Amino acid sequence: MGLKAGGWMSPDWLMTRVVVVAMALAAPAYFFALMFLLPFQITPFGDAFLDWLFNYLLVPSVFSTTWVALIYLNRYRLANTVHLMRETTTSVPLRWRVFYGINAAFVMVFFVLPVTTAPVAVIGGLALAGTVFYRTAVGKLGLGRLAAAATVLVAIALCILPAYIMLAFIPRYLEIWNVMLSSWSSFWFGVVYGVAQCLVNALSLGAPIHFLYYGAQQYEKGVYGDIFTETPTTRIRLAEGILFLIFLILYLPPIPTPLGEMWWFMNMPWLFTTYINWVSLAVVVIMLIIRRVLGVKDKSTMGGAANIAIVAMFLLVEIFFKTNLLVVTLVIWLAFGVFAAVVAANFMRASSREMY
């Protein structure tokens, strides 16, 4: 890993920087969109215009600044984490990484970030206030008493503003959270869970094709000492994508939108419970047996043991426990937990220094 001729950064490392920059840009976009979409406002002034500025500009700015500052302070470590994620998950097929990523994004966007950001903003405000107070009031910057006193007031404001926002925001959002949980247990739960189910089934049914090409390559390597058969990865992914769309049309109910109802969804989850999930589960079991009997160590078909366990749980829950909200929710959170644990482990391993 080093700089290419002419001083250019390696494409892999350049990609990690792009991801970090994208995270920094996504944070403000997310929080401004969140505050505009939430059905409540934080109104401390009693004046319509000032309350609008506070709710739609100041609050998302405070939330965004918190995460952008954290991203900036940890920019090298985050970039190195992205690189380590690529290295440690290369054995997990891209299609399964997409599956875990979708689950993680859903949980983060609707359940984790809105609740955790306000307390994080308070902690960030306290840290910033302490730094400002130390560098000015204590005289580290050599400012006069008047400037130091003004800075102390700024430091106090840096503590009070995030604290007020937290106390005003979290109770209101928890009310929305209850509504979300009610919706989660009714219509939209079926939609979100249906998307996950369709993705799991499509990827499970595509795994044997990957395995067949892997077997052909191993045969050629053993007989001829070289591999002549290339896996048509793009075509297989395209086929899995088409199968996923077909499953979505079969599984999901008609979805109401502001532009009208998506009538083309056929609302046939019974087809999955009765047939498709059993076939997918059989594929997972057969693939597991074949891998165990033949001693296959390659993970490019179904991923590792943890991945197989998660997939099997999704299929079993759909067959036996679909009506149990707690069980289904736990499985989705388990998939999120796997993704979060991998990210956390790589973040702890990552260096905080710039690397190429």
Three-state DSSP class for residue 261: strand
Q: How far is the C-alpha of 342 from the C-alpha of 88, rounded, in Å? A: 9
CB 81 within 8 A of CB 350: yes
C-alpha torsion sign, points 196, 197, 201, 202: negative
User: Against a cut of 0.75, is the pTM above it?
Assistant: no
Q: Where are the beta strands (DSSP E) in the chain?
A: 255-257, 260-262
Q: Print pLDDT tens along the chain (356 aa).
A: 444 444 444 445 677 888 899 999 999 999 999 999 888 889 898 888 999 999 999 999 999 988 998 898 888 899 888 888 777 665 555 555 666 677 677 778 877 888 888 888 888 877 776 776 666 655 554 555 666 666 667 667 767 888 899 899 988 888 877 766 665 556 666 676 677 778 777 877 877 887 788 778 777 777 777 777 777 878 888 888 899 899 888 988 887 765 667 778 888 888 877 888 788 778 877 877 777 777 666 555 545 555 556 556 555 655 555 555 666 667 667 777 777 887 888 888 888 776 54
CA distance 323 to 36: 34
Q: What are phi and psi of 282, to 5 degrees?
A: -65, -40
